[in-house]
Amino acid sequence: YQLETGEKPADGIRRIVREQLECALHEAAALGGPGESEAVHRIRKQIKKIRAVLRLVKKEIGADIYAEEKDRLRAAARGFSDLRDAQVQLHVLEKLRVSTDGKAGLFAGVEACFRQQHAAAKEAQKPERTEAIALLESLHDRLPGWPLEAVNRKTLSRGFARSYRQGRRCLHHVLDHRTAENFHSWRRHTKDVWYHARLLRELQPEVLGEIAAMADTLDGYLGDLHDLVFLQDRLPACTAPENEKTILQRLICARANALNEIALDLGACFFAEKQGAFRRRLHRYAES
């Protein structure tokens, strides 16, 4: 998931998207089998990687094509969202249970409810998954026609600078208003910084490798926070004993507060460089 030394940027972008699509379609073959949960996770991750590439070349590919492909990729991701959400609930529940040194039977009522939801989502989303796979196959067919002639290392560095600027702005929004929506938006743009640093690593391997590693760490904390908030929102509707839900709510709040502070401290360090200085530095890398 990066441009290779000496590779033409337009060729590299097509290659990377094609490889991610082929990986996603390969994973789709595991749907319905014992490895379905992992396959769904990887397919959604590969779609996110493709969307990050698309945002990197947004200016060069043109507003119309960008909007069309963005909508198709978003629709493809939705085809796996309910099943993935059900998986996240079970995963976070297990992490919270382990954090209390609790026995396997702890929160049994909540777990039973979540497993029912998982089974229902698995069955209900079958038609949507079929449609999502068709959308990915159609993108594979359209990819050779993407107008990438204007893409070069300078335009890619500008796209990377845009994602950094957006991530920095989102951090400031979070500092002003610590809402779940603002944290989620910050996470999305931080993930773009992570992916874009990986894509362009060959421009300056040591520096961009370090940026990618830091963004990955920050995204991990923000991702854990997002999953906790998601579970918290879904918990009231769960048909489980109230005492279990009350204990879980307390655990969620305590862990979320800790993650808030960790993410904000790390984010303040990561996004400390002003966006103009970051942009100029990237341009120097692209010209060298």
Q: What is the pLDDT along the chain (288 residues), one digit of tens a residue?
A: 999 999 999 999 999 999 999 999 999 887 877 778 888 999 999 999 999 999 999 999 999 999 999 999 999 999 989 888 989 999 999 999 888 876 667 899 999 999 999 888 888 878 888 999 999 999 999 999 999 999 999 999 999 999 999 999 999 999 999 999 999 999 999 999 999 999 999 999 999 999 999 999 999 999 999 999 999 999 998 988 999 999 999 999 999 999 999 999 999 999 999 999 999 999 999 987
Name the burial class of residue 39, with classes exposed (0-12), middle (13-18) and buried (19+) by CB atoms within 10 angstroms of its CB.
buried
pLDDT recorded at residue 278:
96
Give yes or no for a contact between 56 and 159, defined as CB atoms under 8 angstroms apart.
yes
* Dihedral of the alpha carbons of 276, 278, 283, 288, in degrees to the nearest 10: 140
Q: Report how far residue 152's alpha carbon sits from residue 9's, in angstroms, rounded to the nearest whole number.
A: 5
- Residue 47: which of 62, 32, 27 has the closest Cα? 27
For residues 128 and 144, what is the distance between their CA atoms, to the nearest angstrom? Answer: 26
Question: Quick one: pLDDT at residue 103?
Answer: 67
d(C-alpha 33, C-alpha 205), whole Å = 39
Q: Report the C-alpha gap between 3 and 1 in whole angstroms.
A: 7
Q: DSSP assignment, residue 273? A: S
Q: Please tell me the predicted confidence (pLDDT) of residue 133.
A: 94
Q: b/e map of 55-76 (b: 16 or more CB within 10 Å)?
A: bbbeebbeeebbeebeebbeeb
pLDDT at position 53 is 97
Say how far apart CA 2 and CA 73 lie, in whole Å. 20
Which residues neighbour 117 within 8 Å (Cβ) at sequence distance 6 or greater?
86, 89
